[in-house]
Structure 1
Amino acid sequence: MTATPAVDPIMDAITTAVALGREGGVTRAREDLLAIWADLGVSGDPLHRCVLAHHLADLYTDAAEERVPALPPGPYGDMVRAAVGGVNEAITARDTAPD
C-alpha cells in the first residue's frame, strides 16, 4: 500500500513557477522563484533551496547570471559573491578560451 504524500506548499510553489517558466513566462517565473528564495532565507530547508536554485538557474541564458543571481542581498550574499567572484572569473576565462 502506498501512503499519500504530505502536502508541501513550498514545493508546490516552486513547481508552479517552473511550469510558468517552461510555458514562456520566464521573467515572472524568475520573480516568483526569487520571492520564494527570499522567504526561505539562509536557514531554509536544504532540499527546497537546492531544488529552487537548480530550476532558477535553468531560467537564465547567460552563464554568469546563472551562477549568482539567487543569493540574498545583504552580508551573506555579499560574502558568497566575494568568494565566488574568483571562481566565476576562472570559469569565464575557461569558457571563452580558444580551443
Structure 2
Amino acid sequence: MTTTPASSDPTMEAIGQAVVEGRAGDILSARHKLLNLWSELGVTGDPLHRCSLAHYLADLYEDPAQALAWDIRALDAADAVTEQRVQEHHASLHIAGFYPSLHLNLADNYRRLGSFNAATEHINAAKEHAPNLPQDAYGASLRTALDEVAEAISQRDTAKRPSAPGPTT
C-alpha cells in the first residue's frame, strides 16, 4: 500500500515491513516473518490480512508451484473481504481493484507450470477485472504485465518474465 491507511493496523504494518524487507533483498527473513504472521492469523483470520499477506508471500517464492499455493489463498481470502473492510483500511481502496493482480499472478504461475488452460482462464478473468485498475503507474504496470502474460500464454512460454515480481534466479 502506497498511501496512508485510514486507521492504524499493526498486522498490515507488519506485512508492509516484511514486504519492504523482501524487496530490499532479504527474501528469507521476509518470508519467515510473513509465515509467522500467517500462523498467528490462521485460516479464519481477517480476510484482508490473509489476502494481503498471501499475495505478497507468493512473490517471495521462485518456484511457481509454491507461489501458486499462496496466490490461491490470496484469491480465496479476497472473496471473503467486504468493501467495508477495505474502506476501513483505506478509503481509496476497493476490493474490485485487487482482482486484476490476483488473477494475473495465478495466470502467470499456471503458465510457468505449463498449465495453459488454467492460465488462460485466469488471464481472461484478470482482463475482465482490469477496468477496476487505477489510472496511475500501478495500473499501467499491471496492464503491461497482463499483456506480457497473455503473450507468453499464447506462445506456450514457461520462462519467468523478467518483469515479474519476486526473487531473481
Shorter-chain TM-score range: 0.5 to 0.7
Render the CA deviation track for 1:3-51: whole Å, top value 9, x for unaligned.
x821100000000000000000000000000000000001100011000
AA paired with 1:65? Q
SS at match of 2:115: helix
Dislocated runs of 4+, deviation >3 Å: none
Which structure 2 residues correspond to residues 1-99 of structure 1 after superposition, within 5 A? 5-68=6-69, 91=110, 92-94=113-115, 99=156
SS at match of 1:43: coil
TM-score (norm 2): 0.40
CA RMSD of aligned residues (A): 2.4
TM-fit CA distance, 1:69: 6.0
CA distance in 1, matches of 2:24, 2:41: 25
CA distance in 2, matches of 1:23, 1:43: 30
| Greater CA drift, 60-69 or 41-50 | 60-69
TM-fit CA distance, 1:93: 4.3
Q: Which residue of 2 aligns with 1:82?
A: none
CA distance in 1, matches of 2:43, 2:70: 15
SS at match of 2:17: helix
Corresponding pairs, count: 75
Q: Which residue of 1 aligns with 2:143?
A: none
Answer yes or no: is the 8 Å Cα contact 2:34–2:57 preserved in 1: yes
CA distance in 2, matches of 1:94, 1:66: 14
